[in-house]
Amino acid sequence: MKTYNIPKLEKKLRKELDPERYRHSLAVMYTGAALAMRHGADLHRTQVAGLLHDCAKCIPNDKKIRLCEKYGIEVTRTEKENPFLLHSKLGAWMAKEKYGVDDEEILGAIAWHTTGRPGMTLMEEIIFLADYIEPMRQKAQNLDVIRKQAFIDLDRAVMMTLRDTLQYLKSGDSELDENTELSYYYYSELCDHKSAPKSKSAPAETEIAGAPAPVH
């Protein structure tokens, strides 16, 4: 597996971002690393994804649209009207073309870090959450609960993040990207399913068949 030169990537990224965004990128890299340790994701590749996730963030919005058109990256109507959303897709393209990342899972984690998508990979979920919970984030509600949950049950933490993001977007009258909504439905159903009792309809005999005899 390819090893990336992280200090070299940091040096290049630092020139592309404003100081605050660069600090956030480092924070997402280290928070992603902690989550990777906890949940068994690849530590090195998760750090690369965290470091580069916002590499297109500081490109002016009109240039984001122009670059997407130039490089054949599809721009939806919602993205055209909310061009900041494009920093994820364009970031994945830049990670590949400008930073030499050819790992599909890293590129996916960058591409989906803003809206999420139904059925994210482990690394995608980790970067999606690391971006939301890194220590310098302060504004979102329920951060303390979601931070804790991210180290207990990733799917549930993703669901809570999407739930709160949608609530925030609706309260501010922002246009919803369909991926944010579809992701929430997916994770919400997944969590309902997980917490449902396993075999409610199974007859009692089946459930205790093979169980050790009670000791008297």
Residues of this chain that interact with Fe ion (CB under 5 A) are 54, 131
Q: Which residue, 103 or 131, has its beta carbon nearer to Fe ion?
A: 131
Using rule CB under 6 A, residue 180 touches ligand DGI: yes
Decide if residue 17 touches ligand DGI (CB under 6 A).
no
DSSP codes of every residue in 77-95: HHHHHSGGGHHHHHHHHHH
CA dist 182 and 120 (Å) reads 12
Q: How far apart are CA 87 and CA 61, in angstroms?
A: 9
Pick one of 69, 97, 104, 175: the residue that binds ligand DGI (CB under 6 A). 175
Number of residues that bind ligand DGI (CB under 6 A): 15
Query: What's the gap between Cα 196 and its chain centre?
Result: 25
Establish if 161 lies at the interface with ligand DGI (CB under 6 A).
Answer: no
Q: How far is the CB of 60 from ligand DGI (least distance, A)?
A: 15
Rounded Cα–Cα distance for residues 83 and 134 (Å): 24
Residue 73 Cβ, how far from ligand DGI at the closest point, in Å?
16
SS3 20: helix
Taking CB under 6 A as the criterion, the residue among 115, 149, 161, 183 binding ligand DGI is: 115
* Least Cβ distance, residue 85 to Fe ion (angstroms): 9
User: Residue 115 touches which of Fe ion, ligand DGI, none (CB < 5 to 8 A by kind)?
Assistant: ligand DGI
The nearest distance, CB 197 to ligand DGI, in angstroms, is: 33
Tell me whether residue 139 or residue 216 sits nearer to ligand DGI (CB atom): 139
Using the CB atoms, write b or e for 18-46: b if 16+ within 10 Å. eeeebebbbbbbebbbbbbeebebbeebb
Handedness of CA 50, 53, 59, 61 (dihedral sign): negative
Binding residues (CB under 6 A) for ligand DGI: these are: 24, 54, 57, 82, 113-115, 131, 165, 169, 174-177, 180
